[in-house]
Structure 1
């Protein structure tokens, strides 16, 4: 397996997304536990530092979502702010934004898999 593909899979896991199906893991999944997410992002950052094809991760990648941030995301999404813009505003990946929108019930998983 190429390192870039492995990094992509681990990043999806860290974002709480099943890399095989694109579905968001349930809240009780081991991949949703804070220590697991931190561990995965620690590894991602370590690999990115050594990989020439790795993209830099946003500042808040892997950080827990605060209630105020959820509200800001909800309000902006309802005003038709794009996922790309939301990712920039919240300093997270687009996949993380999509997963959070599913979790907040603003879109369903079929929308995310588009």
Structure 2
């Protein structure tokens, strides 16, 4: 389907794939949205969305992910899986009396991530983990 057809259908309150009327509460029924959709239909006249190349998602290496995390103000290991070695170190330090916040700094992860891992390892209760949201 051509882009301008999709925008025109949406501006008329019609789902482009099913042909069904959209809910009266849908944002497409607001005057600003209708004007915008008709303007987009005009702008994209002759463009076939299915022919538009999509940007391929790049898989980052763990080191690239760490650099990106730090650049974005997150702990270095945010969103990286826990290795068995990291889990064993976490257990050892937790049993030595380190707090969740201290463990977070040591592991370069958020306190929430550490609390969730401790819960998975059955070292703290779900209620205790929930305090680190």
TM-score by length of 2: 0.44
How far off is 1:97 after superposition? 0.3
| Cα separation, 2, equivalents of 1:77 and 1:58 | 19
> What residue ranges of structure 2 are gaps of 5+ in the alignment?
1-59
> What residue ranges of structure 1 are gaps of 5+ in the alignment?
1-37, 50-55
Partner of 1:90: 107
Partner of residue 77 from structure 1, selected from 90, 94, 103: 94
Partner of residue 85 from structure 2, selected from 62, 68, 79: 68
How far off is 1:105 after superposition? 0.8
Partner of 1:99: 116
Q: Deviations over 1:64-108 (max 9, x none)?
A: 100010000000001110111101110000000000000111111
Partner of residue 127 from structure 2, selected from 103, 110, 113: 110
| Cα separation, 2, equivalents of 1:60 and 1:112 | 19
Partner of 2:75: 58
Q: How many residues align?
A: 65
Question: What's the C-alpha RMSD, in Å, of the aligned pairs?
Answer: 2.3
How far off is 1:110 after superposition? 1.2
Larger Rg over CA atoms? 2
| Cα separation, 1, equivalents of 2:102 and 2:128 | 17
Q: Secondary structure at the match of 2:74?
A: coil
